[in-house]
Every structure is written in C-alpha cells, then in structure tokens.
Amino acid sequence: MSFTGVPLNRTALHYACVYDQPKVVTLLIKMNSDVNICDNDKSTALIKAVQFQAEECAMILLQSDADPNVMDASGNTALHYAVYSKNTCTAANLQTCLGTRR
C-alpha cells in the first residue's frame, strides 16, 4: 500500500531490491518470480534496484534476463536512473547488457 491508500502492486522482488536484499532476490528468481513484471508506476524490479542503488540486486536481475529496456511511467529506463544518480558502475553494466541484447 502507498501512503495515499492506492495499492502500488509491487511484488516481493520489487521490495527485495528496494531494501537491497540480494539473497532474497536470488531466492525469488529461483522460485520463478517474473523479473520483468511492472508495478503501477510501470517500474520493474531492475528499475527499483537501480533507483535504490542495490547494485548486486541489479546484476542478479540482469543475469536472470531482466529487460533493461523497460520504461517506467515517466519514460525512464534503469540506465536513466543510473545516470541520474551518477552510479557509473551500474550504468556501465547496463550499457554492456544493452549492447549484447540488441
């Protein structure tokens, strides 16, 4: 639930990334969680991981075929958020991933 009472429809995977819990992310993926499911803001777990600078979670998601091209409701991808937060390591990993998935 959000503070306004509107559900955000975030999954356990979204929250594991928000709270930087790579072991939980790994477990959820092993239990067949959809790595590309979006919440009400059209954010994926990868976008949340990058927004909250959970680099290990982001790498696990990318290695599990999370789509780095997904845009949220604001039109931003995970790479946009990495650049906004000046997270050069994650930005480089995302660019590498984008280059191999085209």
pTM of the full predicted structure? 0.90
CA-based nearest residue to 39, from 19, 63, 13, 21: 13
Consecutive H or E run containing 27: helix 22-30
* CATH 3.40.50.300 assigned to 12-100: no
Contacts of 73 (CB under 8 A, 6+ apart): 41, 42, 43
| Integer Cα distance of 35 and 49 in angstroms | 12
pLDDT tens series, the chain, 102 aa: 344 555 788 999 999 999 999 999 999 999 999 999 999 999 999 999 999 999 999 999 999 999 999 999 999 999 999 999 999 999 999 988 877 665
CA-based nearest residue to 72, from 47, 101, 52: 47
